[in-house]
Amino acid sequence: MSNLVVVTFEEEAIAFEMRAELVRMQKEYLIEMEDVVVVTKDEKGKTKLHQAVNLTAAGAVGGSFWGMLIGLIFLNPLLGMAAGAGAGAISGALSDIGINNETMKEMAESFNPGGSAIFVLVRSSNREKVLERLEVFAGKGKVFQTSLAKDREDALREVLERTQIA
């Protein structure tokens, strides 16, 4: 079962920095994420979701491959590739994996303008090593919501919400 963790920040850039660090940790097999999204709220109060994967582009690439393959069978690969890319782009734009976009937008309504948040859906992790690597974000964010067990949530709050010793 995956756990949702939402951390808010007063500055926009910090959420992107944390996402980059989480992606590095995933490449090192310290954490397995199902989804990670940065949500920003501009000074006018408009929210924007920054998905890690562009579903429309991924759908177009996959669709063009299958379209070309089907086109080869029917001796018209270019037409098949174009039709497949179009169908793939449409299906990619309509699909939503991981964290529900509407849920993120609803939560973002309570964020401060100019701030940001990171929504992470975690499948598994090496808890101690991940918390150690998140030490650089100490004092920069607040745990907004989580589905973690109480002891794990407390450990995450301890790391992120304490003030850094200068």
Higher pLDDT, 101 or 153: 153
Q: Are 29 and 81 in contact (CB under 8 A)?
A: no
Tell me how far CA of residue 128 lies from CA of 1, 21, 133, 155, 158, in angstroms.
19, 15, 9, 10, 13
Please check whether residue 160 is in contact with residue 134, taking contact to mean a CB–CB distance below 8 angstroms.
yes
Domain that holds residue 79: 55-94
pLDDT of residue 54: 42
Judgement on whether residues 68 and 118 belong to the same structural domain of the protein: no
Q: In this predicted structure, what is the pLDDT of residue 28? A: 93
pLDDT digits (tens, 9 = 90+) for 29-64: 999 888 888 998 888 888 888 776 543 344 444 555
Residue 90 sits in the same domain as residue 73: yes
Residues 102 and 136 in one domain: yes
- pLDDT 10s digits, 4-21: 888 889 888 899 999 999
Report how many domains make up the chain.
Answer: 2
